[in-house]
Homo-oligomer: A and B are copies of this chain.
Amino acid sequence: MGNKKFVEAITSRDEDFARWYTDVCIKAELMDYSEAKGFIIYRPYGYALWENMQSFLDKEFKKTGHQNVYMPLVIPESLFLKEAEHVEGFAPETAIITIGGNEELQERLIIRPTSEVLFCNHYQKIISSHRDLPKKYNQWCSVVRWEKTTRPFLRGSEFLWQEGHTAHATEAEARKEAFDILDIYNRLGKEFLAIPFILGQKTDKEKFAGAVDTFSVEALMHDGKALQSGTTHYLGTGFAKAFNINFQDKDGELKPVHQTSWGVSTRLIGAVIMVHGDDSGLVLPPYLAPIQVNIIPVMQHVAGVLEKAQAIKLMLEEKNIRVSIDDSDKTPGWKFSESEMKGIPLRLEIGPRDVQNNQCVLVKRLNREKSVVNLDELVDMIPNILREIHETMYQKALDNVQLNTKETNDYNEFKQIISKNQGYVKMMWCGKRSCEDKVKEETQATSRCMPLKPEKIGEKCPVCGDEAKHLVYYAKAY
Protein backbone atom coordinates (compact mmCIF):
# COMPACT_ATOMS: atom_id res chain seq x y z
CA MET A 1 0.00 0.00 0.00
CA GLY A 2 3.12 2.15 0.18
CA ASN A 3 2.88 5.61 1.70
CA LYS A 4 -0.11 6.83 -0.26
CA LYS A 5 -2.80 8.24 1.90
CA PHE A 6 -5.99 6.23 2.17
CA VAL A 7 -8.07 9.22 1.12
CA GLU A 8 -6.23 9.52 -2.16
CA ALA A 9 -6.83 5.90 -2.89
CA ILE A 10 -10.59 5.86 -3.31
CA THR A 11 -12.70 7.05 -6.18
CA SER A 12 -14.90 10.07 -5.57
CA ARG A 13 -18.48 9.18 -4.77
CA ASP A 14 -20.02 11.54 -7.29
CA GLU A 15 -17.57 10.66 -10.02
CA ASP A 16 -18.19 6.92 -10.11
CA PHE A 17 -20.53 5.68 -7.43
CA ALA A 18 -20.12 2.00 -8.28
CA ARG A 19 -16.35 2.19 -8.07
CA TRP A 20 -16.50 4.31 -4.93
CA TYR A 21 -18.66 1.59 -3.38
CA THR A 22 -16.29 -1.28 -4.08
CA ASP A 23 -13.32 0.89 -3.08
CA VAL A 24 -14.93 1.45 0.32
CA CYS A 25 -15.74 -2.25 0.70
CA ILE A 26 -12.11 -3.15 0.12
CA LYS A 27 -10.29 -0.24 1.78
CA ALA A 28 -12.40 -0.28 4.92
CA GLU A 29 -11.52 -3.99 5.06
CA LEU A 30 -15.14 -5.08 5.12
CA MET A 31 -14.70 -7.92 2.63
CA ASP A 32 -12.48 -9.53 0.09
CA TYR A 33 -13.17 -11.60 -2.99
CA SER A 34 -12.70 -15.35 -2.80
CA GLU A 35 -11.54 -17.75 -5.49
CA ALA A 36 -15.14 -18.82 -6.11
CA LYS A 37 -16.88 -16.19 -8.22
CA GLY A 38 -19.71 -14.47 -6.38
CA PHE A 39 -18.67 -15.82 -2.98
CA ILE A 40 -17.13 -13.19 -0.74
CA ILE A 41 -15.05 -13.26 2.42
CA TYR A 42 -16.57 -11.31 5.31
CA ARG A 43 -13.51 -9.80 6.98
CA PRO A 44 -13.55 -9.05 10.73
CA TYR A 45 -14.70 -5.45 10.39
CA GLY A 46 -17.48 -6.33 7.95
CA TYR A 47 -18.56 -9.36 9.92
CA ALA A 48 -18.70 -7.28 13.10
CA LEU A 49 -21.31 -5.08 11.41
CA TRP A 50 -23.40 -8.16 10.74
CA GLU A 51 -22.90 -9.44 14.30
CA ASN A 52 -24.16 -6.15 15.68
CA MET A 53 -27.25 -6.24 13.47
CA GLN A 54 -27.79 -9.84 14.53
CA SER A 55 -27.62 -8.88 18.14
CA PHE A 56 -30.25 -6.12 17.70
CA LEU A 57 -32.60 -8.39 15.75
CA ASP A 58 -32.09 -11.56 17.74
CA LYS A 59 -33.08 -9.75 20.92
CA GLU A 60 -36.23 -8.38 19.28
CA PHE A 61 -37.16 -11.74 17.79
CA LYS A 62 -36.77 -13.51 21.12
CA LYS A 63 -38.63 -10.79 22.99
CA THR A 64 -41.58 -11.43 20.67
CA GLY A 65 -41.58 -15.18 21.22
CA HIS A 66 -39.48 -16.41 18.30
CA GLN A 67 -37.16 -19.36 18.67
CA ASN A 68 -33.99 -20.07 16.73
CA VAL A 69 -33.53 -23.36 14.94
CA TYR A 70 -31.18 -24.72 12.33
CA MET A 71 -32.45 -26.53 9.24
CA PRO A 72 -30.22 -28.52 6.88
CA LEU A 73 -28.09 -26.83 4.24
CA VAL A 74 -29.60 -29.02 1.54
CA ILE A 75 -33.03 -29.74 0.10
CA PRO A 76 -33.66 -33.03 -1.73
CA GLU A 77 -34.87 -32.13 -5.20
CA SER A 78 -38.23 -33.90 -4.81
CA LEU A 79 -39.01 -31.81 -1.73
CA PHE A 80 -37.95 -28.64 -3.47
CA LEU A 81 -40.40 -29.29 -6.30
CA LYS A 82 -43.51 -29.46 -4.12
CA GLU A 83 -44.74 -25.85 -4.30
CA ALA A 84 -45.01 -24.83 -7.94
CA GLU A 85 -44.72 -21.01 -7.79
CA HIS A 86 -41.86 -21.24 -5.38
CA VAL A 87 -39.97 -23.60 -7.69
CA GLU A 88 -40.55 -21.35 -10.67
CA GLY A 89 -39.02 -18.45 -8.76
CA PHE A 90 -35.97 -20.18 -7.38
CA ALA A 91 -35.08 -23.14 -9.60
CA PRO A 92 -33.09 -21.08 -12.12
CA GLU A 93 -30.71 -19.84 -9.44
CA THR A 94 -29.96 -23.03 -7.56
CA ALA A 95 -26.64 -24.70 -6.91
CA ILE A 96 -26.84 -28.47 -6.87
CA ILE A 97 -24.78 -31.16 -5.15
CA THR A 98 -24.59 -34.23 -7.35
CA ILE A 99 -21.65 -36.01 -5.76
CA GLY A 100 -21.16 -37.07 -2.13
CA GLY A 101 -18.47 -39.33 -0.69
CA ASN A 102 -17.08 -39.99 -4.19
CA GLU A 103 -20.40 -41.31 -5.46
CA GLU A 104 -23.05 -39.89 -7.73
CA LEU A 105 -26.09 -39.17 -5.57
CA GLN A 106 -29.34 -40.99 -6.27
CA GLU A 107 -31.24 -37.81 -5.59
CA ARG A 108 -29.71 -34.42 -6.28
CA LEU A 109 -29.48 -32.03 -3.35
CA ILE A 110 -30.28 -28.33 -3.78
CA ILE A 111 -28.28 -25.93 -1.62
CA ARG A 112 -31.00 -23.90 0.15
CA PRO A 113 -31.76 -20.65 -1.70
CA THR A 114 -34.32 -20.08 1.10
CA SER A 115 -35.78 -22.68 3.44
CA GLU A 116 -39.59 -22.53 3.16
CA VAL A 117 -39.86 -26.14 2.07
CA LEU A 118 -37.64 -27.38 4.89
CA PHE A 119 -39.68 -25.58 7.50
CA CYS A 120 -42.92 -26.73 5.89
CA ASN A 121 -41.81 -30.33 5.88
CA HIS A 122 -40.90 -30.08 9.56
CA TYR A 123 -44.08 -28.22 10.49
CA GLN A 124 -46.10 -30.95 8.85
CA LYS A 125 -44.61 -33.38 11.35
CA ILE A 126 -44.86 -31.33 14.51
CA ILE A 127 -48.17 -29.51 14.07
CA SER A 128 -51.42 -31.37 14.61
CA SER A 129 -53.49 -29.33 17.04
CA HIS A 130 -54.32 -25.68 17.70
CA ARG A 131 -52.27 -26.27 20.88
CA ASP A 132 -49.16 -26.54 18.67
CA LEU A 133 -49.71 -23.05 17.26
CA PRO A 134 -48.29 -20.58 16.66
CA LYS A 135 -44.87 -21.82 15.68
CA LYS A 136 -42.50 -18.89 15.37
CA TYR A 137 -39.08 -20.05 14.21
CA ASN A 138 -36.09 -18.18 12.89
CA GLN A 139 -32.70 -19.23 11.63
CA TRP A 140 -29.39 -17.49 11.00
CA CYS A 141 -27.52 -19.01 8.11
CA SER A 142 -26.20 -18.47 4.61
CA VAL A 143 -28.09 -19.23 1.44
CA VAL A 144 -26.94 -19.75 -2.13
CA ARG A 145 -28.53 -18.23 -5.23
CA TRP A 146 -26.55 -18.45 -8.42
CA GLU A 147 -25.95 -14.93 -9.75
CA LYS A 148 -24.27 -13.87 -12.99
CA THR A 149 -23.43 -10.31 -12.00
CA THR A 150 -22.44 -9.88 -8.41
CA ARG A 151 -21.56 -6.97 -6.12
CA PRO A 152 -20.21 -7.16 -2.57
CA PHE A 153 -23.07 -7.43 -0.04
CA LEU A 154 -25.71 -6.37 -2.60
CA ARG A 155 -25.88 -9.41 -4.81
CA GLY A 156 -23.83 -12.53 -4.41
CA SER A 157 -24.05 -16.24 -4.96
CA GLU A 158 -23.90 -16.70 -1.18
CA PHE A 159 -25.14 -14.30 1.44
CA LEU A 160 -25.78 -14.34 5.17
CA TRP A 161 -29.25 -13.70 6.46
CA GLN A 162 -31.92 -14.59 8.93
CA GLU A 163 -35.05 -16.28 7.72
CA GLY A 164 -38.14 -16.38 9.89
CA HIS A 165 -40.84 -18.98 9.24
CA THR A 166 -44.06 -19.01 11.21
CA ALA A 167 -47.32 -20.97 11.25
CA HIS A 168 -50.58 -19.64 12.69
CA ALA A 169 -54.14 -20.73 13.21
CA THR A 170 -55.69 -17.76 11.44
CA GLU A 171 -55.03 -15.40 8.58
CA ALA A 172 -55.40 -12.40 10.88
CA GLU A 173 -52.71 -13.67 13.20
CA ALA A 174 -50.34 -14.47 10.34
CA ARG A 175 -50.88 -11.07 8.75
CA LYS A 176 -50.21 -9.41 12.09
CA GLU A 177 -46.95 -11.33 12.31
CA ALA A 178 -45.87 -10.07 8.88
CA PHE A 179 -46.55 -6.50 10.03
CA ASP A 180 -44.95 -6.91 13.45
CA ILE A 181 -41.74 -8.10 11.85
CA LEU A 182 -41.83 -5.29 9.30
CA ASP A 183 -42.00 -2.98 12.29
CA ILE A 184 -38.92 -4.61 13.84
CA TYR A 185 -37.05 -4.13 10.55
CA ASN A 186 -38.18 -0.53 10.48
CA ARG A 187 -36.90 0.02 14.00
CA LEU A 188 -33.60 -1.60 13.08
CA GLY A 189 -33.32 1.09 10.43
CA LYS A 190 -34.44 3.97 12.57
CA GLU A 191 -32.80 3.11 15.89
CA PHE A 192 -29.68 1.28 14.80
CA LEU A 193 -28.68 1.92 11.19
CA ALA A 194 -29.92 5.53 11.02
CA ILE A 195 -31.70 4.62 7.80
CA PRO A 196 -35.26 5.81 7.15
CA PHE A 197 -37.23 3.13 5.33
CA ILE A 198 -40.33 3.40 3.20
CA LEU A 199 -42.71 0.64 4.30
CA GLY A 200 -45.04 -0.81 1.76
CA GLN A 201 -46.55 -3.71 -0.05
CA LYS A 202 -45.03 -5.20 -3.18
CA THR A 203 -47.02 -5.49 -6.37
CA ASP A 204 -47.78 -9.00 -7.60
CA LYS A 205 -44.97 -8.68 -10.13
CA GLU A 206 -42.40 -7.98 -7.45
CA LYS A 207 -43.63 -10.25 -4.69
CA PHE A 208 -41.97 -13.38 -3.34
CA ALA A 209 -42.42 -16.63 -5.27
CA GLY A 210 -45.16 -18.42 -3.36
CA ALA A 211 -46.45 -15.50 -1.28
CA VAL A 212 -49.95 -14.05 -1.20
CA ASP A 213 -48.60 -10.65 -0.14
CA THR A 214 -45.08 -9.34 0.26
CA PHE A 215 -44.18 -6.31 2.33
CA SER A 216 -40.85 -4.56 2.27
CA VAL A 217 -38.69 -1.87 3.76
CA GLU A 218 -37.05 0.21 1.03
CA ALA A 219 -34.08 2.51 1.45
CA LEU A 220 -32.73 5.27 -0.77
CA MET A 221 -29.03 5.26 -1.57
CA HIS A 222 -26.86 8.35 -2.12
CA ASP A 223 -26.90 7.83 -5.89
CA GLY A 224 -30.69 8.01 -6.00
CA LYS A 225 -31.25 4.29 -6.44
CA ALA A 226 -33.46 2.31 -4.09
CA LEU A 227 -32.45 -0.81 -2.22
CA GLN A 228 -34.97 -3.39 -1.04
CA SER A 229 -33.67 -3.91 2.48
CA GLY A 230 -35.94 -6.50 4.00
CA THR A 231 -39.16 -8.35 3.23
CA THR A 232 -41.94 -10.11 5.08
CA HIS A 233 -44.42 -12.41 3.38
CA TYR A 234 -47.90 -13.53 4.18
CA LEU A 235 -47.83 -16.95 2.51
CA GLY A 236 -51.48 -17.80 2.99
CA THR A 237 -52.26 -21.52 2.97
CA GLY A 238 -50.53 -22.40 -0.31
CA PHE A 239 -47.52 -24.07 1.26
CA ALA A 240 -49.70 -25.65 3.94
CA LYS A 241 -51.80 -27.29 1.22
CA ALA A 242 -48.78 -28.43 -0.78
CA PHE A 243 -47.16 -29.86 2.36
CA ASN A 244 -50.26 -31.00 4.26
CA ILE A 245 -49.74 -28.84 7.30
CA ASN A 246 -53.12 -29.17 8.97
CA PHE A 247 -54.25 -28.74 12.55
CA GLN A 248 -57.35 -29.64 14.47
CA ASP A 249 -58.88 -26.36 15.53
CA LYS A 250 -60.81 -25.71 18.75
CA ASP A 251 -64.02 -26.31 16.81
CA GLY A 252 -62.80 -29.81 15.91
CA GLU A 253 -62.28 -28.98 12.25
CA LEU A 254 -59.08 -29.83 10.36
CA LYS A 255 -57.63 -26.64 8.84
CA PRO A 256 -54.46 -25.66 6.99
CA VAL A 257 -52.12 -23.30 8.84
CA HIS A 258 -51.50 -19.74 7.70
CA GLN A 259 -47.82 -19.04 7.23
CA THR A 260 -45.35 -16.20 7.02
CA SER A 261 -41.71 -15.91 6.15
CA TRP A 262 -39.38 -12.94 6.39
CA GLY A 263 -35.75 -12.00 6.16
CA VAL A 264 -33.02 -9.44 6.11
CA SER A 265 -29.52 -10.09 4.91
CA THR A 266 -25.98 -8.78 4.76
CA ARG A 267 -27.35 -6.54 2.02
CA LEU A 268 -27.99 -4.14 4.89
CA ILE A 269 -24.22 -3.63 5.11
CA GLY A 270 -24.41 -2.33 1.53
CA ALA A 271 -27.25 -0.02 2.55
CA VAL A 272 -25.23 1.46 5.41
CA ILE A 273 -22.28 2.09 3.10
CA MET A 274 -24.36 3.73 0.36
CA VAL A 275 -26.62 5.80 2.59
CA HIS A 276 -23.99 7.27 4.89
CA GLY A 277 -20.55 6.94 3.25
CA ASP A 278 -18.59 9.83 1.75
CA ASP A 279 -15.38 10.51 -0.16
CA SER A 280 -13.28 9.66 2.88
CA GLY A 281 -14.89 6.25 3.23
CA LEU A 282 -17.41 4.67 5.54
CA VAL A 283 -19.49 6.69 7.97
CA LEU A 284 -20.93 4.34 10.56
CA PRO A 285 -23.97 5.09 12.67
CA PRO A 286 -22.76 4.95 16.30
CA TYR A 287 -24.92 2.11 17.61
CA LEU A 288 -23.88 -0.14 14.74
CA ALA A 289 -20.20 0.82 14.83
CA PRO A 290 -17.91 -2.00 16.07
CA ILE A 291 -15.61 0.73 17.37
CA GLN A 292 -17.33 3.91 18.56
CA VAL A 293 -14.32 5.87 19.74
CA ASN A 294 -10.85 5.56 18.26
CA ILE A 295 -8.17 7.01 20.49
CA ILE A 296 -5.16 8.29 18.56
CA PRO A 297 -2.23 9.28 20.74
CA VAL A 298 -0.18 12.14 19.31
CA MET A 299 3.55 12.07 20.10
CA GLN A 300 2.92 8.76 21.77
CA HIS A 301 6.60 8.29 22.66
CA VAL A 302 6.32 11.12 25.23
CA ALA A 303 5.94 9.71 28.72
CA GLY A 304 2.38 9.72 29.98
CA VAL A 305 0.57 9.93 26.65
CA LEU A 306 -0.07 6.22 26.06
CA GLU A 307 -0.81 5.71 29.75
CA LYS A 308 -3.46 8.41 29.64
CA ALA A 309 -4.91 6.94 26.43
CA GLN A 310 -5.17 3.58 28.18
CA ALA A 311 -6.83 5.15 31.20
CA ILE A 312 -9.42 6.86 28.99
CA LYS A 313 -10.10 3.60 27.18
CA LEU A 314 -10.81 1.81 30.45
CA MET A 315 -13.04 4.62 31.69
CA LEU A 316 -15.12 4.53 28.52
CA GLU A 317 -15.30 0.75 28.42
CA GLU A 318 -16.78 0.78 31.89
CA LYS A 319 -19.69 2.68 30.36
CA ASN A 320 -19.99 0.00 27.65
CA ILE A 321 -18.56 2.22 24.96
CA ARG A 322 -16.58 0.36 22.31
CA VAL A 323 -13.10 1.85 22.17
CA SER A 324 -9.82 1.17 20.42
CA ILE A 325 -6.39 2.77 20.66
CA ASP A 326 -4.24 3.05 17.58
CA ASP A 327 -0.75 2.88 19.04
CA SER A 328 0.84 1.52 15.87
CA ASP A 329 3.95 3.15 14.43
CA LYS A 330 2.02 4.91 11.65
CA THR A 331 1.93 8.71 11.49
CA PRO A 332 -1.00 10.47 13.16
CA GLY A 333 -2.16 11.71 9.73
CA TRP A 334 -2.26 8.18 8.40
CA LYS A 335 -4.16 7.04 11.49
CA PHE A 336 -6.69 9.85 11.04
CA SER A 337 -7.32 8.79 7.44
CA GLU A 338 -7.67 5.16 8.42
CA SER A 339 -10.08 6.03 11.20
CA GLU A 340 -12.15 7.99 8.69
CA MET A 341 -12.04 5.23 6.09
CA LYS A 342 -13.40 2.85 8.69
CA GLY A 343 -16.15 5.30 9.57
CA ILE A 344 -15.46 5.29 13.32
CA PRO A 345 -17.93 7.86 14.73
CA LEU A 346 -15.50 9.60 17.09
CA ARG A 347 -11.78 10.15 16.95
CA LEU A 348 -10.15 11.14 20.20
CA GLU A 349 -6.74 12.79 19.90
CA ILE A 350 -4.51 13.12 22.90
CA GLY A 351 -0.98 14.51 23.03
CA PRO A 352 1.48 15.65 25.74
CA ARG A 353 -0.05 19.08 26.12
CA ASP A 354 -3.54 17.61 26.38
CA VAL A 355 -2.34 15.34 29.15
CA GLN A 356 -0.95 18.36 30.97
CA ASN A 357 -4.21 20.24 30.57
CA ASN A 358 -6.39 17.25 31.46
CA GLN A 359 -8.14 17.44 28.08
CA CYS A 360 -8.43 15.81 24.70
CA VAL A 361 -9.64 16.68 21.23
CA LEU A 362 -12.78 15.00 19.91
CA VAL A 363 -13.45 14.90 16.18
CA LYS A 364 -16.73 13.68 14.74
CA ARG A 365 -16.40 11.51 11.65
CA LEU A 366 -19.70 12.76 10.28
CA ASN A 367 -18.76 16.42 9.77
CA ARG A 368 -15.20 16.65 11.15
CA GLU A 369 -16.49 18.93 13.93
CA LYS A 370 -13.73 19.35 16.50
CA SER A 371 -14.04 20.14 20.17
CA VAL A 372 -11.69 20.29 23.12
CA VAL A 373 -13.09 18.33 26.02
CA ASN A 374 -12.11 18.27 29.67
CA LEU A 375 -11.26 14.70 30.62
CA ASP A 376 -13.40 14.87 33.77
CA GLU A 377 -16.46 15.48 31.62
CA LEU A 378 -15.60 13.09 28.81
CA VAL A 379 -17.23 9.92 30.09
CA ASP A 380 -20.57 11.57 30.71
CA MET A 381 -20.50 13.40 27.38
CA ILE A 382 -19.73 10.55 25.00
CA PRO A 383 -23.07 8.70 25.17
CA ASN A 384 -24.86 11.98 24.45
CA ILE A 385 -22.55 12.81 21.57
CA LEU A 386 -23.08 9.36 20.08
CA ARG A 387 -26.84 9.79 20.36
CA GLU A 388 -26.65 13.20 18.71
CA ILE A 389 -24.57 11.79 15.86
CA HIS A 390 -27.11 9.03 15.39
CA GLU A 391 -29.96 11.50 15.27
CA THR A 392 -28.13 13.81 12.89
CA MET A 393 -27.33 10.93 10.57
CA TYR A 394 -30.92 9.73 10.59
CA GLN A 395 -32.24 13.22 9.95
CA LYS A 396 -29.75 13.77 7.14
CA ALA A 397 -30.80 10.54 5.48
CA LEU A 398 -34.46 11.43 5.96
CA ASP A 399 -33.93 14.88 4.44
CA ASN A 400 -32.30 13.18 1.49
CA VAL A 401 -35.32 10.90 1.00
CA GLN A 402 -37.69 13.84 1.21
CA LEU A 403 -35.63 15.94 -1.16
CA ASN A 404 -35.48 13.07 -3.62
CA THR A 405 -39.06 11.96 -3.59
CA LYS A 406 -41.08 13.50 -6.39
CA GLU A 407 -44.66 12.91 -7.42
CA THR A 408 -46.42 13.25 -10.72
CA ASN A 409 -49.64 12.49 -12.56
CA ASP A 410 -47.95 12.79 -15.92
CA TYR A 411 -46.16 9.80 -17.39
CA ASN A 412 -43.86 11.91 -19.55
CA GLU A 413 -42.79 13.93 -16.56
CA PHE A 414 -42.28 10.63 -14.75
CA LYS A 415 -39.88 9.49 -17.46
CA GLN A 416 -37.97 12.75 -17.26
CA ILE A 417 -37.56 12.59 -13.51
CA ILE A 418 -36.57 8.94 -13.54
CA SER A 419 -33.96 9.61 -16.19
CA LYS A 420 -32.20 11.90 -13.72
CA ASN A 421 -31.71 9.08 -11.21
CA GLN A 422 -32.88 11.19 -8.34
CA GLY A 423 -34.73 8.89 -6.06
CA TYR A 424 -38.35 7.90 -5.72
CA VAL A 425 -41.15 9.04 -7.95
CA LYS A 426 -44.68 8.58 -6.64
CA MET A 427 -47.32 7.91 -9.25
CA MET A 428 -50.82 6.42 -9.24
CA TRP A 429 -51.34 2.96 -10.75
CA CYS A 430 -54.34 1.10 -12.14
CA GLY A 431 -53.17 -2.26 -10.77
CA LYS A 432 -52.52 -3.83 -14.19
CA ARG A 433 -49.31 -5.77 -14.74
CA SER A 434 -49.06 -4.36 -18.27
CA CYS A 435 -48.61 -0.78 -17.01
CA GLU A 436 -45.99 -1.89 -14.49
CA ASP A 437 -44.15 -3.81 -17.23
CA LYS A 438 -44.28 -0.80 -19.52
CA VAL A 439 -42.80 1.50 -16.90
CA LYS A 440 -39.96 -0.92 -16.31
CA GLU A 441 -39.27 -1.43 -19.98
CA GLU A 442 -39.31 2.25 -20.86
CA THR A 443 -37.56 3.68 -17.81
CA GLN A 444 -35.76 0.81 -16.00
CA ALA A 445 -37.60 1.97 -12.89
CA THR A 446 -39.40 -0.70 -10.90
CA SER A 447 -42.29 -0.36 -8.51
CA ARG A 448 -40.67 -0.42 -5.09
CA CYS A 449 -43.85 -0.62 -3.06
CA MET A 450 -47.35 0.65 -2.38
CA PRO A 451 -46.95 2.53 0.90
CA LEU A 452 -48.66 1.05 3.94
CA LYS A 453 -50.35 4.35 4.65
CA PRO A 454 -52.49 4.73 1.50
CA GLU A 455 -51.89 7.98 -0.38
CA LYS A 456 -53.85 9.37 -3.26
CA ILE A 457 -52.47 12.05 -5.57
CA GLY A 458 -54.69 11.48 -8.62
CA GLU A 459 -57.68 9.64 -10.08
CA LYS A 460 -56.13 7.96 -13.14
CA CYS A 461 -53.18 5.72 -13.93
CA PRO A 462 -50.93 8.11 -15.93
CA VAL A 463 -49.66 5.19 -18.04
CA CYS A 464 -52.99 3.89 -19.41
CA GLY A 465 -55.56 6.43 -18.25
CA ASP A 466 -57.65 3.83 -16.42
CA GLU A 467 -58.91 4.40 -12.94
CA ALA A 468 -56.11 4.45 -10.37
CA LYS A 469 -56.15 1.99 -7.53
CA HIS A 470 -52.86 2.45 -5.69
CA LEU A 471 -50.10 4.90 -5.26
CA VAL A 472 -46.75 3.37 -6.11
CA TYR A 473 -43.20 4.39 -5.21
CA TYR A 474 -41.08 3.85 -8.31
CA ALA A 475 -37.32 4.02 -8.51
CA LYS A 476 -34.37 2.49 -10.21
CA ALA A 477 -33.12 -0.09 -7.80
CA TYR A 478 -30.22 -2.36 -6.93
Closest partner residue, chain B, to A122 (CB atom): B41
Chain B hits for A34, CB < 8 A: 71-72, 118, 121-122
**A68 is an interface residue with CB less than 8 A from chain B:** yes
Chain B hits for A97, CB < 8 A: 95-98, 111
Selected contact of A70 from candidates B35, B42, B109, B137, CB within 8 Å: B42
Bound state CA distance, A122 and B328, in angstroms? 23
Chain B hits for A111, CB < 8 A: 73, 97, 111
Closest partner residue, chain B, to A137 (CB atom): B44
Question: A60-78 toward B: CB 8 Å interface, digit per residue (1/0)?
Answer: 0000000111111111100
**Knowing A36-B72, A44-B69, A69-B41 touch, does A95 contact B102 (C-beta < 8 A)?**
no
**A179 is an interface residue with CB less than 8 A from chain B:** no
Interface residues on chain A, number (Cβ under 8 Å): 57
Chain B hits for A5, CB < 8 A: none
Bound state CA distance, A97 and B39, in angstroms? 14
Bound state CA distance, A96 and B95, in angstroms? 10
Bound state CA distance, A109 and B34, in angstroms? 12
Nearest-Cβ distance from residue A105 to partner chain B, whole angstroms: 9
Of residues 53 to 110 in A, which have CB atoms within 8 Å of B's CB atoms? Answer: 67-76, 79, 91-102, 108-109
Closest partner residue, chain B, to A121 (CB atom): B35
Closest partner residue, chain B, to A118 (CB atom): B34
- Is the beta-carbon distance between A75 and B44 smaller than 8 angstroms? no
Q: A34-B72, A96-B99, A96-B100 are in contact. List 18 more A-B contacts (CB 8 A).
A: A34-B122, A35-B76, A36-B109, A39-B72, A41-B69, A41-B71, A42-B71, A47-B69, A47-B70, A50-B70, A70-B160, A91-B102, A95-B100, A95-B101, A100-B146, A101-B146, A101-B147, A111-B111
**A421 is an interface residue with CB less than 8 A from chain B:** no
**A435 is an interface residue with CB less than 8 A from chain B:** no
Bound state CA distance, A292 and B50, in angstroms? 30
Chain B hits for A244, CB < 8 A: none
